[in-house]
C-alpha cells in the first residue's frame, strides 16, 4: 500500500509563517491583509473552496470578503464589482472562482482584475510573465501540485509525467511547472486515444478532469506518484477524480480528496495575498 500525501501537514508550515508575519505587522500598527472572494452561481467545488478560504483567513488573521452572486447576475454588474475592488486600497487580493456561468465572458472578466491583486494568476498579464519565466502570480493549484510531488522526495528531473486535463488554470500551468523541473510531460484530454496505456507509463500522474473516481488502479503504473486535483460534489460530499481505495494499493504516493491538493492551494492563495499586501502597506 502506498503512502497518503497529507496536504494539511504540508500546509501547516506555510500557515505558521503567515500568522507570524501578520501578527508582527499588526503589532507595528499596520492593517491586516484582505482577500475578496467572488463566487458566481452554485458550483459545488467553487463554494467549497470559497468557504475554506474564509475559514483559513479567520484562522490566520486576515479579513475575507466572501461575495456570493446569483448565476443570473448581469455581466455589467460583475464588471463594476471587480473595478470597485481594484480601486479599494483595503483589498489586497481578488479571487474570482472559475469557471463562470456560460452567460458571462470569463476571459474578459478575469482580465479586468488588477494584475497586482490577481493572487491566483488568472489574468493574461500574469500568465504571460509566468510562461516567459518572469516573476508573477502563478495559479495556486498548480503550485500546490508541485509542492505535493516534491514532498515525496521524488527527483522530478527525467521522470515521465502525465497530466490529464488542459485547462488554463490547472493543466497547462502544471505542465509548464513540470517542464521547468525537467520532466518529460504528456498532456491528455478528451480526444486522447487509449488514455489508459498513456497513464500506465507515468511516473507522475496529475489528474484534473472533473470525473469522480474515473481513474482506478488499471490506469496506474506500479510505484507512481498520483496527484488528484478533482473536486466534484457527489451526494453532498467532495470527491476526487481518482478512486482512492483502488489506487492507493498501486501508487507509491497518493493525495486524498479532501485533505490533499486543496489544503495546500488555499494556503498558497493566502500566501500570495500577503505578498500583495506587503507591497501595499510597507
3-state secondary structure labels for all residues of 35-47? EEEEEECCCHHHH
What is the per-residue pLDDT across 193-244, written as a single tens digit (0 to 9) for each? 999 999 999 999 999 999 999 999 999 999 999 999 998 878 888 899 999 9
Question: At which of 115, 132, 164 does a domain end?
Answer: 115
pLDDT at 216: 98
CB within 8 A of 70, min separation 6: which ones? 40, 41
Residue 158, domain extent:
140-261
Inside any domain, residue 247 = yes
Chain mean pLDDT for the chain = 95
257 shares a domain with 147:
yes
pLDDT at 4 over 80: yes
Q: Provide the grid cell at 24.
A: 508582527
158 and 108 assigned to the same domain? no
Binned at pLDDT 50, 70 and 90, residue 46 comes out as confident
Closest among 80, 77, 82, 79 to 65, alpha carbons compared: 82
Same domain flag for 161 and 249: yes
Q: How much is the pLDDT for 22?
A: 96
Residue 82 has pLDDT above 80, yes or no: yes
Residue 172 lies in a domain: yes
Q: What is the pLDDT of residue 45?
A: 74
CATH at residue 92:
3.40.50.10860
Do 148 and 111 share a structural domain? no
Q: Where are the beta strands (DSSP E) in the chain?
A: 3-4, 34-40, 63-69, 93-96, 160-164, 184-188, 204-207, 225-228, 232-234, 237-239, 253-254
| 235, part of any domain | yes
The count of structural domains within the chain is 2
Segment 41-53 mean pLDDT: 87
**Percent of the chain having pLDDT more than 70?**
100
87-116 residue pLDDT tens: 999 999 999 998 899 999 999 999 999 999
pLDDT at 215: 98
Do 108 and 150 sit in the same domain of this protein? no
Is 279 among the domain residues?
no
Asked if 80 and 168 sit in the same domain, the reply is: no
Q: Which residue has the higher pLDDT, 233 or 137?
A: 137
Give the pLDDT of residue 113. 98
For residues 191 and 144, membership in a common domain is answered with: yes
In a domain, 189, yes or no: yes
- Residue 48 in this model has a pLDDT that exceeds 90: no
Asked, for residue 241, whether it belongs to a domain, the answer is: yes
Residue 229 maps to a domain: yes
Query: How much is the CA Rg of the chain, to the nearest whole Å?
Result: 19
Q: Span 159-180, mean pLDDT?
A: 96
Q: Tell me: do 107 and 145 sit in the same domain.
A: no
We report the CATH number of the domain holding residue 162 as 3.40.50.720
| Residue 166 known to bind ligand | yes
Q: pLDDT category, 44, cuts 50, 70, 90?
A: confident
| 165 known ligand binder | yes
d(CA 215, CA 231): 14
CB 212 within 8 A of CB 240: yes
241 with 190, same domain: the answer is yes
Q: Are residues 107 and 153 in the same domain?
A: no
Do 180 and 236 fall within a single domain? yes
31 marked as part of a ligand binding site: no
Angle subtended at Cα 209 by Cα 51 and Cα 6, rounded to the nearest 5 degrees: 55
**Grid coordinates given for 44:** 459545488
- The reply to whether 123 falls in a domain is no
- Is 153 annotated as a binding-site member? no
Mean pLDDT of 8-12: 93
Same domain, 162 and 85: no
Q: What is the pLDDT of residues 145-164, one digit of tens each?
A: 999 999 999 999 999 999 99
Amino acid at each position: 500500500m502506498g503512502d497518503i500525501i497529507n496536504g494539511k501537514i504540508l500546509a501547516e508550515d506555510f500557515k505558521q509563517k503567515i500568522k507570524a508575519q501578520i501578527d508582527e505587522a499588526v503589532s507595528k500598527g499596520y492593517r491586516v491583509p484582505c482577500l475578496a472572494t467572488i463566487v458566481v452561481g452554485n458550483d459545488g467545488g467553487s463554494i467549497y473552496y470559497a468557504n475554506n478560504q474564509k475559514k483559513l483567513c479567520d484562522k490566520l488573521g486576515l479579513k475575507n470578503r466572501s461575495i456570493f452572486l446569483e448565476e443570473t447576475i448581469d455581466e455589467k454588474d460583475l464588471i463594476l464589482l471587480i473595478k470597485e475592488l481594484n480601486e479599494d486600497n483595503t483589498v489586497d487580493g481578488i479571487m474570482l472562482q472559475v469557471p463562470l456561468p456560460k452567460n458571462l465572458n470569463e476571459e474578459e472578466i478575469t482580465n479586468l482584475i488588477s494584475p497586482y491583486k490577481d493572487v491566483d494568476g488568472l489574468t493574461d498579464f500574469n500568465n504571460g510573465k509566468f510562461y516567459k519565466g518572469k516573476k508573477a502570480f502563478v495559479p495556486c493549484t498548480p503550485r500546490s501540485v508541485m509542492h505535493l510531488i516534491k514532498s515525496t522526495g521524488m527527483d522530478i528531473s527525467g521522470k515521465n509525467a502525465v497530466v490529464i486535463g488542459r485547462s488554463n488554470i490547472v493543466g497547462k500551468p502544471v505542465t509548464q511547472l513540470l517542464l521547468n523541473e525537467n520532466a518529460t510531460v504528456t498532456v491528455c484530454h478528451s480526444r486522447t486515444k487509449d488514455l489508459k496505456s498513456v497513464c500506465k507509463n507515468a511516473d507522475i500522474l496529475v489528474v484534473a478532469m472533473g470525473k469522480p473516481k474515473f481513474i482506478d488502479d488499471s490506469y496506474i503504473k506500479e510505484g507512481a506518484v498520483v496527484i488528484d486535483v478533482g473536486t466534484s460534489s457527489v451526494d453532498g460530499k467532495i470527491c476526487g477524480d481518482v478512486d482512492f481505495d483502488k489506487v492507493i494499493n498501486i501508487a507509491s504516493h497518493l493525495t486524498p480528496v479532501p485533505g490533499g491538493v486543496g489544503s495546500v492551494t488555499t494556503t498558497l492563495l493566502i500566501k500570495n495575498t500577503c505578498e500583495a499586501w506587503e507591497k501595499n502597506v510597507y
